[in-house]
Amino acid sequence: MRRWNGWGDDANNFPLNKHARKFLESRVGKAKALPDADFKSALKKVPESRIDNPHPLLSTDAEDRLRHARGQSLEDWLAMREGELGPFPDAVCWPETSEDVKQLLAWAGEQNIKVIPYGGGTSVAGHIIATSSDKRPIVTIDMGRMRQLEDLDTASQIATFGAGVAGPDLEAQLKARGYTLGHYPQSWELSTLGGWIATRSSGQQSYRYGRIEQMFAGGEMETPIGTLEIPEIPANSAGQDMRELVLGSEGRLGIITKAKVRVTPKAEHESFHGVFFPNWQQGHDCLQAIGQEKIPVSMLRLSNPEETSSHMVLAGHPYLLGGLKRYLKLRGCHEGQMCVAMIGATGSKSFAKTALKQAIKQCKRFGGIYIGAPLGKKWEHSRFRSPYVRHTMWDAGFAVDTFETCVKWSNVSKTMQTMEQAVKDAAQEMGVKVQVFTHLSHVYAQGSSIYTTYIFNVAKDYPETLQRWKNFKKASSEAIVACGGTISHQHGVGVDHASYLPAEKGELGMKVMRNNIQLMDPGGIMNPGKLVADIETEVDSLAVQSLDKKKQQQIKQTA
């Protein structure tokens, strides 16, 4: 059964071996776990629903409401573990057809009830939480029952799905017909097609299959003012592209009910391979070269030295690793400096073989040591299991969070250093130790995404732990803005990043976004407070930004 207070199925775990625990203690100090609330006591805190005349499709059951109250950000995680999940939606519903969604939106509009579209609830930026500032009742619309493959046009390679389909279900339905979408965010087990589109998500093999915006061909969105239908024409020059309105809309314009996506026949071959580089610069230059020469591998990732060491301890067997490290040392790769890259090869056997050969040749040019497929197999085995490690770490008293951006190649290394330094500085100000590491996860010809993870000890209680996270979040987001990066390459905006969005979109850009929302949702019922902060909050955020200019200057000087 899905955990009510964490990630995934409660039958699954990712154990933390004793070497890993020791390693973390050596980096952040001994940790003491915080007590977890039990389900029954959390359930007792769900208040009476404020909807007294429910629509027939709604459930006001306390457990349904509790299970939809939170996503997966660290703030959500702390709320769930403490058993203080509120504010709660007043009701939850599971529409089965587009007509159900249409009716629900019409009813919510008449009753002045807020609506939160819900996919898999894997948001890490506060997308699906009920905000407390707006006092209207809230209904969460869970799209999980709209999950069918409705059509597969094999001649055109376009599949039409109910937008609530989750990753494994989507791939299983396509696989039965010999096809794949190839979209694998790490949250694949639970996240949904509608959620991917609404947050502009990026899968681990985006290098081959593209981001969700390259896959999204068209579909239908129910909005408070009508149905937006987008035909799946392969390309057009007929004015503005309505898909761009839907992509990244975060539930503010309407509910995506059907999505048409570009699929490909299932590849004959897929394998993942490890390459070690003596240092960051050589690895960085190699990925840049592969990306710019467009060598057709399916995945490219590069861990910095700290992530390389940390992952080797957290995931590996110390004796096997001892052998690998000795071999690498003989070849000039030293711990503390070396960086591991992971390369995917996907396609027909001959295509994958040629692509891999080209990539390895390029790696060797930059001093890379190819160590074959075993490390790649290990990565593949845990690619969707690693979110479970958060539980094991939590039980040991460690809190984990991530943040991410995308910048041009000319700015990648500097931004990575600035992002890591911001977290270290915040930790020092709080008198807390922190373990920080980074990888490049999505490579483009013009630049790369940068994905940083940090681990720290929970404080003596929940409020102080939350405050630590808030300080880290502020410092990391400000560092990204100061470096000119996007506030999110893949996690989206939600509530957590909304105040940093104006720095990226500019005044006019924000006005356009706000006007689109007001046009399509005149009653302001769709997921208020997410993406574009409500008017008052946005004014505040602009004030924060002018303060942040000083901070931005400071960060630039220290970078």
Ligand X SMILES: Cc1cc2nc3c(=O)[nH]c(=O)nc-3n(C[C@H](O)[C@H](O)[C@H](O)COP(=O)(O)OP(=O)(O)OC[C@H]3O[C@@H](n4cnc5c(N)ncnc54)[C@H](O)[C@@H]3O)c2cc1C
For ligand X, the closer CB: 248 or 305: 248
Structure tokens at 184: 């694998």
Instruction: Render 362-416 in DSSP notation, one character per residue.
Output: HHHHTT-EEEESHHHHHHHHHTTTGGGHHHHHHHTTEEEEEEEEEEEGGGHHHHH
Residue where the block lists tokens 């497929």 = 373
Task: Read off the DSSP letter of residue 230.
Answer: E
Is 535 annotated for ligand binding?
Answer: no
- β-pair type (91-93, 138-142): parallel
For ligand X, the closer CB: 127 or 273: 127
Is 451 known to be catalytic?
Answer: yes
Instruction: Give the nearest distance from C-beta 302 to ligand X in angstroms.
Output: 16
For ligand X, the closer CB: 256 or 503: 256
Is 195 annotated for ligand binding?
Answer: no
> Of all helices (H) and strands (E), which one includes residue 170?
helix 167-175
Is 487 annotated for ligand binding?
Answer: no
Is 121 annotated for ligand binding?
Answer: yes
> Which residues, other chains included, contact 129 with Cβ-Cβ below 8 Å and sequence gap of 6+?
69, 70, 71, 76, 87, 495
Instruction: Give the nearest distance from C-beta 404 to ligand X in angstroms.
Output: 9
* HSE of 12, CA atoms in CB hemisphere, 13 A: 16
Is 211 annotated for ligand binding?
Answer: no
For ligand X, the closer CB: 295 or 520: 520
Instruction: Give the nearest distance from C-beta 492 to ligand X in angstroms.
Output: 5
CA distance 268 to 58: 45
Is 118 annotated for ligand binding?
Answer: yes
> Which residues, other chains included, contact 322 with Cβ-Cβ below 8 Å and sequence gap of 6+?
none
Q: Which of 207, 451, 454, 462 is catalytic?
A: 451
Is 323 annotated for ligand binding?
Answer: no
For ligand X, the closer CB: 128 or 328: 128
Structure tokens at 109: 């509009």
Instruction: Give the nearest distance from C-beta 530 to ligand X in angstroms.
Output: 5
Hey, is 176 helix, strand or coil? coil
Instruction: Give the nearest distance from C-beta 116 to ligand X in angstroms.
Output: 6
Is 123 annotated for ligand binding?
Answer: yes
Instruction: Give the nearest distance from C-beta 526 to ligand X in angstroms.
Output: 8
CB atoms within 10 A of CB 330: 9
Positive or negative torsion for Cα 257, 404, 448, 356: negative
What burial letters (b/e) apply to 155-172, b meaning 16+ CB within 10 Å?
eeebbbbbbbbbbebbbe
CB atoms within 10 A of CB 306: 18
> Which residues, other chains included, contact 53 with Cβ-Cβ below 8 Å and sequence gap of 6+?
111
CB-based contact 169:145 (threshold 8 Å): no
For ligand X, the closer CB: 179 or 216: 216
Instruction: Give the nearest distance from C-beta 198 to ligand X in angstroms.
Output: 3
Positions in the binding site for ligand X (CB under 6 A)? 71-72, 116-124, 127-128, 143, 163, 185-187, 191-192, 194-196, 198-199, 201-202, 250-251, 255-256, 387, 490-492, 527, 530
* Maximum Cα interatomic distance, the chain, rounded to a whole number of Å: 73
Is 138 annotated for ligand binding?
Answer: no
For ligand X, the closer CB: 163 or 355: 163
Helix axes 349-365, 280-293, angle to 10 degrees: 140
Q: Which residues are annotated as part of the binding site for substrate?
A: 390
Q: Which residues are annotated as part of the binding site?
A: 117-123, 199-202, 250-256, 390
Active site residues: 451
